[in-house]
Amino acid sequence: MSQNKYRAVVTGGTRGIGFAIAERLVKDGLEVITTGTKKDASHPDGTSYYHVDFLNNDSVVDFVEFLKKQQVDVLVNNAGINKIGEFASIDIEDFDQILRVNLRTPFQLCQAVIPNMKENNWGRIVNLTSIFGNISKEYRASYSSSKFGLDGMTAALSAEVSEFGILANSAGPGFIDTELTRSVLGDRGIAEIKKGIPMKRLGRIDEIASLVSWLVSKENTYISGQNIMIDGGFSRV
């Protein structure tokens, strides 16, 4: 699939799922801009890099102004943060930070790119939610609040812009085999989680990238406003 004239922005594209998505979109023939929080971060070959701190308002404003001057055809809001905690003990500043990165920033970036997408009568937006934006569990109040909110925002956005050829969807990864997952859960934790996944394995980052690749392509002509779980069936049992 060649989309040589299309420009994509992938936030959080320096590792894990974001890196795989950016890499795949380059392979698909798109011009790709990735973001990260470090000034000199690794990023996929063939991409350009923009340093932005989504917890810093000035940094976000600068990036928003940058995007307004670009012709962005595809936006993938992948960057996110998480902090697990007991509901009654969650620090309100931590709660605010999670919502700022996971919900407010995607909102602002969508606002930045929509005018040009409308002008061209074509655009694709994918917001990375989570299984915990579809189901939840203990100690996930902050994260689930942000991801359920992101899905709701995506649905409302789709209702407004689909008639202009702009298709906006959410993609919700389940337990994915990344360095972060392995460092947090360890071998024993991963073994326990696999028992609850119908496919009995973790997902792969290339599987997330393949879904996003299709959602942002010309082949997707009628799917919009959806929150698609890619979790090996975990959220359905």
Helices 92-99, 141-161: axis angle to 10 degrees equals 30
User: Who's near 125: CB < 8 A, 6+ residues apart?
Assistant: 74, 75, 76, 77, 110, 113, 154, 157, 166, 167, 168, 169
Angle at 166 between CA 165 and CA 167, to 5 degrees: 110
- Other C-beta atoms lying within 10 Å of the C-beta of residue 210: 15
**Phi and psi angles of residue 51, each rounded to the nearest 5 degrees, phi first:** -85, 120
Cβ proximity of 172 and 131 under 8 Å: yes
- Other C-beta atoms lying within 10 Å of the C-beta of residue 156: 12
What distance in Å separates the CA atoms of residue 126 and residue 208, rounded to the nearest whole number? Answer: 11
Cβ proximity of 21 and 76 under 8 Å: yes
Supply the residues annotated as catalytic.
143
**Phi and psi angles of residue 30, each rounded to the nearest 5 degrees, phi first:** -90, 155
- Three-class SS of residue 135? coil
